[in-house]
Structure 1
């Protein structure tokens, strides 16, 4: 789960430094480094040194990492859409039913 959160964050931030990720996730830099090592071993991220300052390393997604992140986002987007459709569909149906009852009551008053 932590790996997927970090992949999503890298997708959102674009190329990021490990310190940026650690600050954003409120994690120790050592924890982030271990997770980044795992992600790199799995082929989801790549590390590139800055051309201006060789001490700085940027982390970016590989095509494999971008594909995983996109499928993760699509999965949660579908869940969210289904949830809202369920909630709004129920509300609309309930409202339609109540309006029909009101209409029937008003018709009976004539």
Structure 2
């Protein structure tokens, strides 16, 4: 499925969120969103920029094999469980300033 504009700013997702192999052509706004379940964005293409700034991920966050063609903003995002970005490509700026991750430091696989 292809989405032209995605605006979930400030939204709360109590269950799992799944965007597997989706294409988001317009700006994807998830600023200050809260993900209480798993956030599964596996193979998702973000073609118009994405903002997850100040978002809270209380379940696992999987951006595996995702693609960001424009700016990807994760500033001050909070990851309270595993955050996985394996195989993800960032073709432009990827900002994770002030983001927090639990437990052991992140390492590429």
- TM class by shorter-chain length? under 0.3
Look at both structures and tell me which one has the larger radius of gyration over its CA atoms.
1
Q: Which one scores higher on RCO, CA 8 angstroms, separation ≥ 6?
A: 1
Task: Provide the TM-score with structure 1 as the length reference.
Answer: 0.23
More strand, by proportion = 2
Q: Which has the higher helix share?
A: 1
